[in-house]
Chains A and B, each alone.
Chain A
Amino acid sequence: MLHVIDLENCNLASVLRAFDRIGVATTTVGEPARLADAKAIVLPGVGAFAASMGKLDERGFSPVLRDLVQRDGVPLLGICLGMQLLGDASEEHGIHAGLGLVPGTVKRLRPASRADKIPHVGWADAVPAKESYLFPEQTVSSFYFDHSYHFDCDDSPDIAARARFGNEEITVAIQRGHVAGVQFHPEKSQDAGLDLLSAHLHWLRGKGRL
């Protein structure tokens, strides 16, 4: 059973459908008390960083998530904005603190020419940066992106995959121990996305978390 946090900020249904397709049961969680028995957590999200972080704080999710993840070792996967929320802070419309589970700051994408459109929407290649449970095969695959900000990792060993934007190689997947995040939308990335979620599940099973 995967616990999926619902911040009412994204089409959660497509994330749930993706998990359903790869054969895992999910339960959606609207308040932190429901996380008490969680063995693995998913944090999806789209939209503005501050609004969603505000919701996590208001509803009391933030301390609970930090405890579960850091003290009890519960695996957490962030998707899109969910990955950005794992960082220390974001520079989107001012400076806002994040969950602080993976060292890094969320920064605006920097276009190098007219061809680099913001938001960065569409299919782009993610190149695995290390061996991780997200990319066990370490093959380059295309995923579907839709974002204007990216996660700037402090500790390069945390970088799981990069993609090219403008003149930079931006971080598009992170993995620090049992905390992971992807900037793209695996639930909208056809087989490549479902394969990634499936690899994550495989790892969770190996850890006895499913």
Chain B
Amino acid sequence: MVYPRLIPCVLLKNGLIVRSERFETHQVIGNPIQTISRLSSWNVDELFLIDISTEDYHDLRRDDLHVRYQGSSALDVLQEIAKICFMPLSFGGRVRSLEDISRILKAGADKVSLNSAALASPDLVSEAAREFGNQATVVTIDTRRLEDGRYEVFADAGRTATGRDPVDWAREAADLGAGEIVIQAIHRDGSAEGYDIELVSRIVNAVDVPVIALGGAGRYQDFPPAFEAGVSGAAAANIFNFFELSYGMAKKHCTEAGIRLRESKLESAWSPREPKYAPGDASARIEARLEAARTGDFPAARQTRPTQTVSWCTECVYSSLSATPMAFDENGVCMGCKTAAARSEIPAEEWTRREALLKDLLERYKSRDGMRPDCVIAVSGGKDSWFQTHYIKNVLGYNPLLITYNGNNYTDVGWRNLLRMKEVFDVDHIIYSPRVDVLKKLNRLAFKIMGDMNWHAHVGINTVPVRLAVQLGIPLVIWGEHGYMDLCGQFAMTDFPEMSYRYRLEHFGRGYDWNYFLGLEDLETKDLIAWQYPRDQEMFDLDLRGIYLGNYVDWDANQHTQQMVEEYGFEVSPDPFDRTYRRMSNLDDMHENGVHDYLKYVKFGYGRCTDHCCKDIRSGKLSRGQAIELVNHYDPVRPRDLYRWLDYAEMSEEEFDRIADTFRDPRVWWKDADGNWQRTRLEP
């Protein structure tokens, strides 16, 4: 009795994971190694990798602690992936010949998926089956449902109609020796509408070989119908990027629906969740950084012209060499603009529906007996925290507990706003303040290691509320907006992404978890409790969810701020910031808009003013022309809070500059004949 399989599918494009929608739009999710490590520690049944690159190059974006691949093809990524996989591995994408198959199997795959090439020359299927065995030969059938309800097979990633019926082609492929058929519904890809069960059933009934369904799963309840239709495997890509513990939760859902699947544990002794860092790696990295700072010899300093051209979104002012995982469409419009546009078109009745979804969640997770708070709201004391608390407490009527990570960098006005929340909203509030000596060490170390002294804040803010929620037995944590969804359209509005360890580690932590710092400046495990995320099993047992309110509420930061000022007396900054025109953001951390953001400019040639301008262009508050003037004025400004930070971290200004320079991205910066730093900038 072979168990039906639940198969995470990872879409790779130019070395990164993407989220796909109807084969047309691809949003960058992140680095495959971190995601696949996560899947390994969840003991998944199988992994299906599909490379949808059309050319061989890797663009891994900012210099985080990612696995760097040798080479630039999908095979290079596959080799790295195979090193951390102890499960069956299936690989598809641009497989054209027996030689390709042989190379892929040698690189570590167990099965190879044929698609367009098999349609063009069906003999390839029989030759592959003879040479490598049926079990290694998979045929994937990309199918579209036409207007008249007929199904048609498409080749070339959905671009070319073949006139073939998927059932006929599945039968033929199985007769030729395919050991497995993957039936993919293009019209359901990325839709979160569920599998096309009618299509899946037809294929299952037509062939004797195992059938895998792909395309459309967006909620856990989408899986059981596929298994009930008789598939040997249900595969899905996007959903495993949306939710925490998504794999275990999906299996739990199937089990509750009466589908018997293989038991897979959440935590693996062999593939631990926290990355394993090579001993001495951190010290060596710091040493190399300081050496480059001393000698002035690093990539950007060696060139007299940039290595790559920069382009900007044609609607906002977002750069193609961004710090965030951004993607652009064929017209040069960034996904941030596209998602914002999609968001603005959401009709009022859809927001009403979403509010009902939110209420359902709160009802499901609230305290039954009043012996604990209904939910946790992670608050910084800023405008969004005020709005979240207003909404959950005063609009919907629940009893939240506010939890704050205090990184010791509050502006005066930010601190006043934070302390007033408990009175203004009449709620309980926990402020967790890590030891200042540890904070100073982390500021210094993270600046040298990753050019970002605020690692402690980014990771702490995304750890403390979650950790305390688990310890207090509160299964719902509420956040404001999903940062990357808002800024760079990482997800679609139908995705409802939630907080996850992966997102925390990869985007907030830049690939560095707390254990990277062990031993540096004598830091020990006990010093780093605030940055230790709860265990998977603890979160699973509590059914912990972390939702972003921006998915449920029509979010308008400018309007919300206005409302908080008028209704509750929220204070915006009395003084302008040095590096942006907005006065309502980042009051909880004087360095976030200051020296931390200045470092973003040093690295990538743009800063928070660009982020703010993009958001304000999308919401119609700014024209692109105005934005260009603003970013050219604000992005290069050297901020005054630098001097507070230098005192705090005990570093000289000269040392700071020398180290900061080593982080300059060679794709953006070069040195002119006089030795001055130059960058390509956006001209009016």
Whether A156 is near chain B, meaning CB under 8 Å from some CB there, is no
Interface string of A171-201 (1 = CB under 8 A from B): 0000000000000000111110111000000
For B105, give the chain A residue with the smallest CB separation. Answer: A11
Interface string of B248-290 (1 = CB under 8 A from A): 0000000000000011110011110000000000000000000
Whether A119 is near chain B, meaning CB under 8 Å from some CB there, is yes
Closest chain-B Cβ to A153's Cβ sits at a distance in Å of: 21
Closest chain-B Cβ to A92's Cβ sits at a distance in Å of: 14
Q: Is there an interface contact between A17 and B263, defined as CB atoms closer than 8 Å?
A: no
Which residues of chain B are within 8 angstroms of A142 by Cβ–Cβ distance?
Answer: 3, 262-263
For B43, give the chain A residue with the smallest CB separation. Answer: A190
Q: Is there an interface contact between A123 and B135, defined as CB atoms closer than 8 Å?
A: no
Instruction: Knowing A11-B105, A117-B209, A191-B265, say if A146 contacts B135 (CB, 8 Å).
Output: yes
8 A Cβ contacts from B116-158 to A: 133-135
CA distance A76 to B264 in the complex (A): 29
Which residues of chain B are within 8 angstroms of A73 by Cβ–Cβ distance?
Answer: none
Closest chain-B Cβ to A143's Cβ sits at a distance in Å of: 10
CA distance A196 to B269 in the complex (A): 13
Q: Is there an interface contact between B270 and A120, defined as CB atoms closer than 8 Å?
A: no
Closest chain-A Cβ to B49's Cβ sits at a distance in Å of: 15
Q: Is there an interface contact between A17 and B82, defined as CB atoms closer than 8 Å?
A: yes
Whether A124 is near chain B, meaning CB under 8 Å from some CB there, is yes
CA distance A5 to B569 in the complex (A): 75
Which residues of chain B are within 8 angstroms of A190 by Cβ–Cβ distance?
Answer: 40, 43-44, 86-87, 264, 268
8 A Cβ contacts from A105-129 to B: 114, 117, 119-125
For the side of the interface on A, what is the size category?
A: 20 to 34
Whether A164 is near chain B, meaning CB under 8 Å from some CB there, is yes
CA distance A189 to B270 in the complex (A): 12
Q: Is there an interface contact between A114 and B1, defined as CB atoms closer than 8 Å?
A: no
Instruction: Knowing A11-B106, A11-B108, A191-B270, say if A123 contacts B210 (CB, 8 Å).
Output: no
Closest chain-A Cβ to B170's Cβ sits at a distance in Å of: 16
Whether B179 is near chain A, meaning CB under 8 Å from some CB there, is yes
Whether B159 is near chain A, meaning CB under 8 Å from some CB there, is no
Which residues of chain A are within 8 angstroms of B113 by Cβ–Cβ distance?
Answer: none
8 A Cβ contacts from A138-173 to B: 142, 144-146, 164-165
For A114, give the chain B residue with the smallest CB separation. Answer: B208
Q: Is there an interface contact between A120 and B2, defined as CB atoms closer than 8 Å?
A: yes
CA distance A165 to B133 in the complex (A): 21
Q: Is there an interface contact between B135 and A14, defined as CB atoms closer than 8 Å?
A: no
Whether A22 is near chain B, meaning CB under 8 Å from some CB there, is yes
Which residues of chain A are within 8 angstroms of B664 by Cβ–Cβ distance?
Answer: none
Which residues of chain A are within 8 angstroms of B88 by Cβ–Cβ distance?
Answer: 144, 188
Whether A18 is near chain B, meaning CB under 8 Å from some CB there, is yes
Which residues of chain B are within 8 angstroms of A55 by Cβ–Cβ distance?
Answer: none
Closest chain-B Cβ to A121's Cβ sits at a distance in Å of: 5
Q: Is there an interface contact between A13 and B269, defined as CB atoms closer than 8 Å?
A: no
For A141, give the chain B residue with the smallest CB separation. Answer: B263
Instruction: Knowing A11-B106, A190-B43, say if A124 contacts B1 (CB, 8 Å).
Output: yes
Which residues of chain B are within 8 angstroms of A125 by Cβ–Cβ distance?
Answer: 1
Q: Is there an interface contact between A122 and B3, defined as CB atoms closer than 8 Å?
A: yes
Q: What is the interface of chain B, defined by CB distance below 8 A to chain A?
A: 1-3, 5, 40, 43-45, 82-83, 86-88, 105-106, 108, 110, 133-135, 179, 208-210, 232, 262-265, 268-271
Q: What is the interface of chain A, defined by CB distance below 8 A to chain B?
A: 11, 13-14, 17-18, 21-22, 47, 114, 117, 119-125, 142, 144-146, 164-165, 187-191, 193-195
Q: Known pairs A13-B108, A122-B2. 13 more at Cβ < 8 A?
A: A13-B82, A14-B86, A17-B82, A117-B208, A119-B135, A119-B179, A121-B2, A121-B135, A124-B2, A191-B265, A193-B86, A194-B269, A194-B270
18 residue pairs bridging A and B, Cβ less than 8 Å apart: A11-B110, A22-B270, A47-B133, A119-B133, A119-B134, A119-B179, A121-B2, A121-B210, A122-B232, A165-B1, A188-B110, A189-B86, A190-B87, A191-B43, A191-B271, A193-B86, A194-B86, A194-B270
